[in-house]
Amino acid sequence: MPFNLFQPKKQPAGPLTVKAESERMITALGGRVCDWLPALERGEMRSAAEVADRALALHATIEIAFGAPIEVIAAWIRENNLEASLSHQERAILARRRDQLSKEELSSLGWSMEALWALVWAGGLIDALRVERPVGDNLAALLPNLQRNEDASSFRRRFALRPAEEIYAMLDLYYRAHWYARDGQLNSYATGAFDLGRIMERRRALEWISDHQLEDWADTPEDT
């Protein structure tokens, strides 16, 4: 039997190695890094099914920001058994009429597309989650068409969660990019490709995936 079958598996990169690679990528994009930001601890990842269903629930509620009737969205969520995947805030929105929703709530739903983009990346449905690039034009094509009442079955079958090491490294990158974008906001300097809103939403999704103990989507850390 060939000897190479008995070669040890490559060990995951350590937290300090991941940190150094994140810093290299940020500086390559023209950003700055904070040396004293610690290496991130590794949490226990959620299951692929849990992440897929969170993506579907988020997709459905985002449609409200673009004019979809709340009662239609609520019915689709029930039919696809997604009630448990809603955040507390989303449940509150679904319980009200459109004229009762504030501009801030609708804006927040719209921004959630960035978090959804991170979730579909984690599910292997897109190849890259570049810090400097906005949501791709192909996002809608990756998800069920709610206007045609497509169910969630195809999306669930195609969704395959990336290895924990890949998600951890991406979270580390967005954690450090978040520091730079936030520092620019606090100190009134331009951060170029590092858009704070985009980075915050994607980090929220990656943090949620990486910590199965978080009880609600709104509980995800935002500290830097």
Same domain (yes/no): 64, 105: yes
Give the model's confidence band at 214: pLDDT under 50 very low, under 70 low, under 90 confident, else very high.
confident
Can you give the pLDDT at residue 150?
97
pLDDT (tens digit per residue) in 98-107: 999 999 999 9
More confident residue, 168 or 214: 168
Q: Mean of the per-residue pLDDT values for the chain?
A: 93
Same domain (yes/no): 145, 199: no
More confident residue, 6 or 171: 171
Q: Do the Cβ atoms of 122 and 160 come closer than 8 Å?
A: no
pTM for this entry: 0.92
Same domain (yes/no): 59, 133: yes
Same domain (yes/no): 122, 182: no
Can you give the pLDDT at residue 6?
40
DSSP the chain: --GGGGSPPPPPPPHHHHHHHHHHHHHHTT----TTSPPPPP-PPPPHHHHHHHHHHHHHHHHHHTT--HHHHHHHHHHTT-GGG--HHHHHHHTS-GGGS-HHHHHHHHHHHHHHHHHHHHTTSSS---TTS---TTTGGGS--GGGT--SHHHHHH--PPPHHHHHHHHHHHHHHHHHHHHHHHTT---TT--HHHHHHHHHHHHHHH-TT--SGGGS----
Same domain (yes/no): 31, 85: no
Residue 43 lies in a domain: no
Give the model's confidence band at 219: pLDDT under 50 very low, under 70 low, under 90 confident, else very high.
confident
Which of 53, 59, 61, 49 is closest to 80 using CA atoms?
53
Counting the structural domains of the chain, the total is: 2
- Domain boundary, last residue among 112, 136, 158: 158
Q: Is the pLDDT of residue 224 over 90?
A: no
Q: Where in the sequence is the domain holding 136, given as residue range(s)? A: 48-158
pLDDT (tens digit per residue) in 120-168: 999 999 999 999 999 999 999 999 999 999 999 999 999 999 999 999 9
Same domain (yes/no): 68, 94: yes
Q: Report, as an integer, the average pLDDT of 198-207.
A: 97
Same domain (yes/no): 112, 150: yes
In angstroms, the CA 223 to CA 82 distance is: 29
Cβ-in-10-Å burial (0-12, 13-18, 19+) of 47 comes to exposed
Q: Report, as an integer, the average pLDDT of 2-20.
A: 66
Same domain (yes/no): 153, 60: yes
Q: Is the pLDDT of residue 1 over 70?
A: no
pLDDT (tens digit per residue) in 62-80: 999 999 999 999 999 999 9
Can you give the pLDDT at residue 26?
97
Same domain (yes/no): 115, 206: no
Angstrom CA distances, 172 to 15, 70, 202, stand at: 9, 36, 12
Number of Cβ within 10 Å of residue 6's Cβ equals: 7
Same domain (yes/no): 136, 169: no
Same domain (yes/no): 179, 93: no
Same domain (yes/no): 57, 151: yes
Residue 1 lies in a domain: no
